[in-house]
Structure 1
Amino acid sequence: MTSENRPNPRFEEDMQFKRFAGPPRYNRVARGPVQHVRVVADNGVVIGYVWANDEDDAAGWLVPPGLGAAEINAGAAWLRKLRAAKAREIAPTTLLTELIRDTSDIQGSRVVPGSPAESTTLDELKELANQG
């Protein structure tokens, strides 16, 4: 009596892997100047910078080092703003204009008056963010 070890027929099926795109996002790299707004918590601590560059369809959120958990968590609302703006297919600098005009739906932080500013490169803005 011989027994055959036959594999389960499901293991012989051709698997179809499909790649699904995530939510739409702006590019994270800008080759030219970037406009940016500084964001502070209600206690005055800088919690990040929203930056934008229309030529590269790029925008992002930069966080200074050394923030506490509350400040880092406050940044999540700004990331949601970025993703929502891309989903609406608006230009990155138009997003900055919207943020300057109204962020009443974001609790605990705000755009600093006098924004936006411009940095010659994204790396320059990163250096500014790293200074706190």
Structure 2
Amino acid sequence: MSLKDEPAFQTVLAPDSYPRTTASPIRYMPILKDDVVIGYLWAATTDDAAQYVPREQAGDPALDAAVAWTRRLRWAKANGVSPLAALRHWSGEPEDGRAGKVPVGRPFELPTLAALEELAAAG
């Protein structure tokens, strides 16, 4: 292999995470950065799924936050926190420079994950 060759990356170990899809209704909270909605943190109401969905029009800050939320959700899963409890865990915490913040309040509910993905894409 020379420096001109494309490197081959291989995941050796990744922490366990919640499933990223669900057929269940979901609860979600907006993720704010500088008082702008950059994405949504969601949890399934009847199974073990949870994830962060970036808001398309929020650009790079929304995508950067995805890395932080993946790390946070992996921490929650490793510590036995249920997805719905994880949704509430960060509510009201100070804004993180990368992840943003979850405002205080009750989660919103949608019948499907697809509905939230449409919301994130709509702007």
> Into which bin does the TM-score normalised by the smaller protein fall?
0.7 to 0.9
Bigger Rg over Cα: 1
Which one of the candidate residues 39, 53, 64 is aligned to 2:44?
A: 53
Normalised to the residue count of structure 2, the TM-score between the two structures is: 0.77
Residue aligning to 2:31:
39
Q: Please say if 1:86 is aligned against 2:77.
A: yes
Q: Please say if 1:114 is aligned against 2:105.
A: yes
After the TM superposition, which residues 89-100 of structure 1 pair with which residues of structure 2 at under 5 Å, given as runs? 89-100=80-91
Q: Which runs of 5+ in 1 are unaligned?
A: 1-19
Deviation at 1:105, TM superposition (A): 7.0
Deviation at 1:110, TM superposition (A): 1.4
Normalised to the residue count of structure 1, the TM-score between the two structures is: 0.73
Decide whether the 8 Å contact of 2:56 with 2:62 is kept in 1. no
Q: Which runs of 5+ in 2 are unaligned?
A: 1-11
Q: Please say if 1:63 is aligned against 2:67.
A: no
**Residues 45/101 of structure 1: CA separation in 2 closer, same or farther (3 Å cut):** closer
Decide whether the 8 Å contact of 2:19 with 2:50 is kept in 1. yes
RMSD: 2.2
Deviation at 1:70, TM superposition (A): 3.6
Deviation at 1:65, TM superposition (A): 1.2
Residue aligning to 1:74:
65
